[in-house]
């Protein structure tokens, strides 16, 4: 499978232990650093990875963003038969939290929209393992909600100076933050049964 000539699916070297679906951000495609490093870590840990590529301009006027994201995730999983499924969402893609919660799916939420109560509630309701990654310089990250979710069992990486792209105005510091995120994702995946 390809999107604009780019591959959208990767298989691990050995037998697959499950399927990971990557739901990108509104203007943050699967090829952007956070999601690309997550894809690499997932394949390294034995997961088949299916990326979702979308054009947010094709959302029908008035269509609820959560419904729109769920529809794309459901389509990505429609013909799959994996015992273990992991959802990876970035920003807009974290609107798949209710879908993951209904199925108790493990999830990695990169810059989740914690300022939206319904999304935070969906993360809190999920019985699956979850990693949340965000920065205090991100207006869509709520540190209080993140602490509550950590207390409820979520793994949380909070970076003091990171914005919504998990970066800063300093290129070297941004690269360091991306390494921190990659380590957190790798550690999270290594701890999965």
158-187 per-position pLDDT tens digit: 999 999 999 999 999 999 999 999 999 999
pLDDT at 75 over 70: yes
Q: State residue 63 phi and psi, 5-degree precision.
A: -70, 130
- Domain range enclosing 181: 2-190
Strand partners, 50: 9, 21
| φ and ψ at residue 81, rounded to 5 degrees | -135, 60
Question: What does the pLDDT read at residue 122?
Answer: 98
How many structural domains is the chain composed of? 1
Query: In the prediction, which pLDDT does 4 show?
Result: 53
The answer, yes or no, to whether residue 18 has pLDDT greater than 80, is yes
CATH code at 6? 3.40.50.1820
Q: Give the pLDDT confidence of 110-164 residue by residue, as tens digits.
A: 999 999 999 999 999 999 999 999 999 999 999 999 999 999 999 999 999 999 9
Q: Which of 157, 177, 179 is nearest to 167 (CA)?
A: 177
pLDDT band for position 29 (cuts 50, 70, 90): very high
Which pLDDT belongs to residue 52?
Answer: 96
Q: How far is CA 134 from CA 7, 105, 114, 151, 156, in A?
A: 28, 20, 9, 16, 8
pTM of the model: 0.95
From the list 171, 186, 172, 68, the residue with the least C-alpha distance to 133 is 186
């Amino acid at each position: 499978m390809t999107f604009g000539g780019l591959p959208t699916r990767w298989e691990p070297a050995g037998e697959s232990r499950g399927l990971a679906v990557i739901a990108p951000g509104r203007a943050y495609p699967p090829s952007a650093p956070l999601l690309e490093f997550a894809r690499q870590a997932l394949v390294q840990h034995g997961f088949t990875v299916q990326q979702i590529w979308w054009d947010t301009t094709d959302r029908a006027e008035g269509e609820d963003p959560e419904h729109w994201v769920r529809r794309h995730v459901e389509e990505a999983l429609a013909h799959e038969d994996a015992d273990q499924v992991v959802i990876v969402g970035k920003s807009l893609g974290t609107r798949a939290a209710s879908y993951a919660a209904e199925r108790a799916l493990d999830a990695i939420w990169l810059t989740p929209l914690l300022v939206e109560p319904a999304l935070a509630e969906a993360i809190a309701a999920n019985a699956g393992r979850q990693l949340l990654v965000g920065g205090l310089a991100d207006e869509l990250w709520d540190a209080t909600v993140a602490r509550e979710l950590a207390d409820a069992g979520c793994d949380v990486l909070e970076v003091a100076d990171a914005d919504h792209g998990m970066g800063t105005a300093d290129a070297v510091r941004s690269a360091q933050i991306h390494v921190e995120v990659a380590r957190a994702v790798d550690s999270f995946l290594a701890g999965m049964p």
